[in-house]
Structure 1
C-alpha cells in the first residue's frame, strides 16, 4: 500500500486571514520559478515560431514533420506522445499536412485496425531542408551558453519535471 499524497485542505477562514494567506502565497519562491519558466517558454516560442513561419509551416506542423523525419512512420498514439499534442488536435494537423502532400496515412498489414502516419517523398524533402535549417537557427541562441551552463539548465529542468 502506498501513502497518499497529502492534499492541502481548504478551510473556511475570515476574509482578513484569507487576504494574509493570499499575500503569503504570492511571495512563495516557487511562484518566481514558475513565472520565469513561463516567460522563458513564451520567449522561446516567439523566437522559434518566427523562423518556422518563414519556412512555410506552423509550429505544430513542423513538430509533426520533425518527429516523423528519419522514421518509418508512427501511429497517431505514438505521434501524439512524441509531439505532446492531443490526438484530437493532431488529427487536424495531419489532415492539413496530408492536403499539402507532406504526409500520408498507411494501414499496416499486420494491424488493419490502425494507421501509420508517414512522410511522403515531398515531406521527406521538406524535412531534410527545413529541419537542419531550423536547428542551425536555434543553435545561434543556444551557442551563447557555455557547455556547463547548458548542462546545468538541462539538469534543473529534468529535476523540475521529476517532482511533478
Structure 2
C-alpha cells in the first residue's frame, strides 16, 4: 500500500478536527452570556465548507438515484401497460374461438348421442334382417322340400292310378272277351 494520503484520509482528518472543535465549543462554556470559540475562523470555514460540500454531494447523489428510480418506474409503468394490452389482445383472440369451439363440441356430443342411438337401431335392424332372411331361407327350404314331396306324391299317385287304370282296363278287356 502507498503511504500517500487519500481523499478519504483527508476527509477523515477534517471530520476529526470538526469533532474536536465541537468538543472545544461545548466545553468552553459561556462567558458574558455568549459562547466563546477556541478555534480559528479559517478552520471553521473549512469545516463548514467541507460539510456543505459533502451535503451537496449527498443531495446530488440522492437526486441522481431518485431520477434513476423515477425513470425505472416510468419504464415499469410502460411495460405494465404493454403487458395489459397484450393480455387484452390474447383474451380477445381466445374468447370468440373458445365460444365457437364450445358450441362445436356440444354439437359433436349431440351427434355422438344420435349416432349411438342410430347405431343401436342399425344393429337391431341388422339382427332383425338376418333373422328375417334366415326365416325366409328356412321357409324357402321348407317350401322346396314340400314341393319335392308334392312332386313325389303326384308322381306316385299318377303311377298308382296308371297301374290301377291298367288293371281296370285289363279287367274290362277280360269281360269283353267273354
Same fold (TM over 0.5): no
Q: TM-score, normalised by structure 1?
A: 0.24
Q: Greater share of helix residues, 1 or 2?
A: 2
Larger Rg: 2
TM-score, scaled to structure 2: 0.23
